[in-house]
Amino acid sequence: MKHALLTLSLFFAAVSLIAQKPCDYFTVDEIPNAVVYLPAPPDTQSMRFAYDTAQYQWGKRQRATPRGAQAKADADYSVYRMADIFSPAVGFTIGKNTTPQLWKLLVDATHTASFATDKAKAHYFRPRPYMYFDEPTLVPGDEEVLRHNGSYPSGHTNLGWTTALLLVEICPERQDEILRVGYEYGQSRVIAGYHWQSDVTAGRLTASAAVARLHTSKAFQRQLRKAQKECRRLIK
């Protein structure tokens, strides 16, 4: 029963990046396939995996610090979390009521971009760090459900970096702070023990590929223009 409730709660958190039904700009088969353009996850005997391991140990050392508290909060996979962490970076409050056009853009675009990790996750089904080392994570309540979801690429990172790239187009004058927030959201998954560093790096690449594809959609372009117009009056 406990497992079922946890699965259900995670399902609703993931499907809704939101409180409204997303309108996808593309299907999963139209979004770039990461199995084709990304390298496979590092072999456990490789130098790349040695770096993954070193970064895992780095992440564990952050858990008892304020950065660890941030990483725990960043386990929230939703547009609501994106609004919370990116609002200070853009200089205004992102929300369904305060910025409805931007909110719609983020809901629809990030949901579509989330497809960018699906095929690679299923293809490689890479075990997560806490499974490999058989150690607890920073967010133990998510461990059982995420055992059944591949680690590579990182979906959280894909969400954070997609949001950052979109917001840079809304507020280019705040680009550096926006990108810093997006970068740190991905690193939080290393700290929490849910992703290898190479998963996070790959998640940024899948997000970049997805956003590039989004720009070929006329519906996306129209919504982006609406969001830009709405937000220009709020930028100080």
Query: Domain locations in the chain?
Result: 2-232
pLDDT at 21 (0 to 100) = 82
How far apart (Å, rounded) are the C-alpha atoms in residues 152 and 149? Answer: 9
Helical pair 100-113 and 218-232, crossing angle rounded to 10 deg:
140
- The dihedrals phi and psi of 25, each to the nearest 5 degrees, come to -80, -25
Q: Hey, what are 195's tokens?
A: 């992703």
Q: What is the pTM of this model?
A: 0.91
Number of other residues whose CB lies within 10 A of the CB of residue 61: 11
Cα 204 to chain centroid distance, Å, stands at 8
pLDDT at 8 (0 to 100) = 45
How far apart (Å, rounded) are the C-alpha atoms in residues 198 and 85? Answer: 23
Regions of the chain with pLDDT less than 70: 1-20, 236
Assigned architecture for domain 2-232: Up-down Bundle (1.20)
pLDDT at 22 (0 to 100) = 87
The average confidence (pLDDT) of the chain is: 93
Task: Just list the catalytic residues.
Answer: 156, 189, 195, 199
Helix spans in the chain (H)? 2-15, 34-37, 47-62, 66-73, 79-90, 100-113, 118-124, 129-133, 143-146, 155-170, 175-192, 197-214, 218-232
Q: DSSP code of 64?
A: T
Verify cis geometry, omega within 30 degrees of 0, for the bond prior to 153.
yes
